């Protein structure tokens, strides 16, 4: 649909005529004006955090993005409609978990066609953000290659979607429940650019340092925005830029406790033969209980920092474009 703006210039409103996709008024307005927008996933809310705090966290993450000068766009599917930006009662519905499935990229069309509801993983957000033309995305920790992949072939769909989506993803590395070296190797094979933000170490989600290095480190949001401009200049295929932003060391989980509880979690998952989509939520929940909630505190510290950095990146990138 084409409309005329005040000055009589033709302006394309790309966000009014996409069947199956609904934009919140705030997000629609921000996108139409080229204002900074930050996508937020919703699986962390519905399946990644305890029910007692998840709604507050969802609201808080949006508030952090707003305080940073960007418009938050939490993404979920409700009754078959892909929502880009949620009203508060919709956020409540996602946080309640009632009838909320976990949707990867491949599940989006199924939920749309059948009228189901679900929260979006990183892979699903990649698909929606590309359609909505949102460039910056905040999550906690990415999915990746699971330990024991030699047997299970379990690799998160997050990785392959990041190889084909031009999106800047701010995350505290990949979840430490994964095979981190194998995940870094896959990110290399898939041509996903990875930078450590103010660190030369790849973060370990609950931990500031996964034990592995990153080859590129940047110290400012202006530099990150410059990388995004370089992606635009080079054109070519869309690949993501992973901005690996560590949890502050003073907020990380105690590494000894982390290693101990993670071992127990992995063996419990193996004993109970938990796999597929259920594995990540099971491990996160087991670790939360096993650490008396300390892992949740570290997860929250990481995702809050990511929301603040994501907003700053979106603002810097939008400023470059202006």
Binding site for ligand PSU (CB under 6 A): 41, 43-44, 47-48, 121-122, 139-141, 143, 156-158, 277, 280, 284, 299, 303
Task: Report d(CA 214, CA 235) in Å as an integer.
Answer: 25
CB of 177 to ligand PSU, least distance (A): 9
* Residue 118: contacted member of Mn ion, ligand PSU, none (CB under 5 to 8 Å, by partner type): none
Task: Report d(CA 318, CA 300) in Å as an integer.
Answer: 27
Q: Which is nearer to Mn ion, 69 or 148 (CB)?
A: 148
Task: Report d(CA 296, CA 53) in Å as an integer.
Answer: 10
CB of 88 to ligand PSU, least distance (A): 21
Question: Which residue's structure tokens are 């302006």?
Answer: 11
The question of whether 175 is a catalytic residue gets the answer: yes
CB of 198 to ligand PSU, least distance (A): 20
* Residue 47: contacted member of Mn ion, ligand PSU, none (CB under 5 to 8 Å, by partner type): ligand PSU
Contact (Cβ atoms closer than 8 angstroms) between residue 58 and residue 93: no
Task: Report d(CA 319, CA 322) in Å as an integer.
Answer: 5
Task: Report d(CA 320, CA 116) in Å as an integer.
Answer: 39
Query: What is the phi-psi region of residue 69: left when phi exceeds 0, alpha when psi lies from -120 to 50, beta otherwise?
Result: left
Packing angle of the helix pair 279-290, 294-321 (nearest 10 deg): 120
Q: Which residue is nearest to ligand PSU (CB)?
A: 140
Residue 192 is encoded by which pair of tokens?
């996903």
Task: Report d(CA 89, CA 238) in Å as an integer.
Answer: 34
C-alpha separations of 142 from 157, 169, 207, 259 in Å: 10, 9, 14, 19
- Which residue among 62, 90, 155, 175 is the active-site one? 175
CB of 314 to ligand PSU, least distance (A): 19
Interface pattern 132-171 for Mn ion (x via CB under 5 A) = ----------------------x-x---------------
Residues contacting Mn ion: total by CB under 5 A:
2
Q: Which is nearer to Mn ion, 65 or 108 (CB)?
A: 108
Q: Which of residues 178-237 bind Mn ion (CB under 5 A)?
A: none
* Residue 40: contacted member of Mn ion, ligand PSU, none (CB under 5 to 8 Å, by partner type): none
Q: 100-103 and 117-120 as β-strands: parallel, antiparallel, unpaired? A: parallel
Q: 21-23 and 81-84 as β-strands: parallel, antiparallel, unpaired? A: parallel
- Which residue among 41, 62, 90, 155 is the active-site one? 41
CB of 79 to ligand PSU, least distance (A): 21
Q: Which is nearer to ligand PSU, 85 or 143 (CB)?
A: 143
Q: Which is nearer to ligand PSU, 152 or 230 (CB)?
A: 152
Task: From 215, 201, 288, select the one nearest 246 (Cα to Cα).
Answer: 201
Residue 13 is encoded by which pair of tokens?
């409103």
* Residue 140: contacted member of ligand PSU, Mn ion, none (CB under 5 to 8 Å, by partner type): ligand PSU
Which residues make up the interface to Mn ion (CB under 5 A)?
154, 156
Catalytic residues: 41, 175
């Amino acid at each position: 649909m084409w409309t005329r703006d005040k000055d009589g210039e033709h302006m394309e409103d790309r966000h009014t005529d996409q069947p199956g996709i609904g934009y919140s008024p705030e997000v629609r307005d921000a996108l139409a004006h080229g204002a900074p927008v930050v996508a937020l996933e919703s699986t962390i809310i519905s399946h990644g955090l305890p029910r007692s705090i998840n709604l507050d966290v969802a609201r808080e993450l949006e508030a952090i993005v707003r305080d940073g000068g960007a418009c938050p766009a939490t993404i979920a599917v409700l009754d078959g409609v892909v929502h880009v930006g949620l009203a508060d009662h919709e956020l409540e519905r996602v946080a309640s978990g009632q009838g909320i499935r976990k949707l990867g990229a491949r599940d989006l069309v199924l939920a749309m066609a059948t009228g189901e509801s679900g929260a979006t993983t990183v892979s699903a957000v990649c698909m929606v953000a590309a359609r909505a033309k949102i460039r910056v995305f905040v999550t906690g920790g990415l999915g990746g290659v699971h330990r024991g992949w030699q047997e299970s072939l379990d690799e998160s769909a997050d990785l392959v979607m990041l190889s084909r989506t031009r999106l800047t993803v701010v995350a505290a590395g990949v979840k430490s429940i994964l095979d981190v070296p194998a995940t870094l190797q896959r990110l290399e094979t898939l041509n996903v650019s990875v930078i450590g933000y103010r660190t030369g170490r790849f973060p370990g989600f609950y931990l500031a340092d996964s034990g592995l290095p990153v080859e590129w480190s940047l110290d400012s949001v202006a530099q990150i925005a410059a990388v995004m401009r370089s992606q635009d200049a080079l054109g070519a295929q869309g690949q993501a830029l992973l901005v690996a932003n560590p949890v502050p060391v003073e907020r990380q989980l105690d590494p000894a406790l982390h290693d101990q509880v993670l071992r127990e979690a992995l063996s419990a998952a193996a004993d109970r033969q938990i796999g597929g989509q259920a594995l990540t939520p099971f491990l996160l929940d087991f670790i939360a209980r096993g650490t008396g909630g300390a892992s949740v505190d570290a997860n929250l510290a990481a995702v809050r920092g990511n929301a603040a950095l994501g907003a700053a990146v979106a603002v810097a990138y939008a400023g470059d474009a202006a």
